Amino acid sequence: MSQEQPRRHQQKQPIKYGDIFNVSGDLASKAIPPVDADMMQTAETMVFGETQKGGPAAMMQSAASRNERSGFVGHDDVTDAARDQGVAVKETDVPGIRVITEKVAGQVVGQFVEPTPFIGAAIVEQNAITIGQALEATAHTAGDKPVDESDAAAIQAAEVRATGSNVVIPGGLAASAQSAAAFNAGGSKDEDKIKLKDILIDAAMRVPADKVVTKQDAEGVMSAELRNKARVAAHPGGVAESMAEAARMNENMRHQ
């Protein structure tokens, strides 16, 4: 009987950014190297005090270790994207919400949202996140995204659920988003297009009536966003994802 030891599974391709994160362009095709992972770990530690379990830094460390063991990258390798454009973990306080966005070369690879103590007339439950606040958080998590039809549909669905009215409010969030999507569809350069942050940066104040985000609200907004996308996936940190995260956090608070 042969005593040949079974061969260890060999990694045939490096793990690239596009394999584990919803990123695009040149970054997506880059193998994740150790120095990129170390940069993200340092950035996370500065904000959180530690590396987040299951977060972008941990995922990058795991991928970089496997890539190094398989010989695809060296221990001191760094991508041009991370070296030139940076790795960042940014904390932003929105009324009622603390938003932490993690980026590599300007592209979002992770988002962390948690409630902060806030009391206002629009809050039905103390510290619960409202639709207006969730929309405003989107200005920070995906603010540089040009507004398209899927964003406008999601914003309209959110506004309808906040106000309880199917009428598009003149000058309101939905009307502004629809106008922005129509303008952007005209073929302007991305730098000239209207971005989500231009529409949603003060969303919590512009919603004439507001309510705490529920699972049903989030599902309705997600459905509206996906119906209007060629690719059946919500935009990272976009309207639908922000609503879903808010609903999850509100549900967790109710069961504490």
Residue among 56, 150, 69 nearest 104 (CA): 56
Which pLDDT score, from 0 to 100, does residue 119 have? 44
For residue range 11-57, list pLDDT tens digits in order.
789 999 998 888 889 999 999 999 999 999 998 888 888 887 778 89
Of 99 and 239, the one with more pLDDT: 239
For residue range 124-173, list pLDDT tens digits in order.
455 788 999 999 999 888 888 999 999 999 999 999 999 888 878 777 89
Yes or no: say if 232 and 94 are a contact pair by the CB < 8 Å rule: no
For residue range 64-122, list pLDDT tens digits in order.
999 999 999 999 999 999 999 999 988 877 666 777 888 999 998 887 776 665 444 34
Which pLDDT score, from 0 to 100, does residue 98 have? 74
Three-state SS at 241? helix
Q: In what order do the strands lie in the sheet with 87-94?
A: 87-94, 97-104, 107-115
How far is it, in rounded angstroms, from Cα 189 to Cα 101? 25
Of 222 and 119, the one with more pLDDT: 222
Long-range contacts of 178-187 (CB under 8 A, 24+ apart): 178/152, 180/147, 180/152, 181/147, 181/148, 181/149, 181/151, 181/152, 184/146, 184/147, 184/148, 185/148, 185/149
Structure tokens at 20: 């584990």
Which pLDDT score, from 0 to 100, does residue 100 have? 83
Which pLDDT score, from 0 to 100, does residue 8 have? 45
- Name the residue with tokens 């996370």: 44
How far is it, in rounded angstroms, from Cα 95 to Cα 92? 10
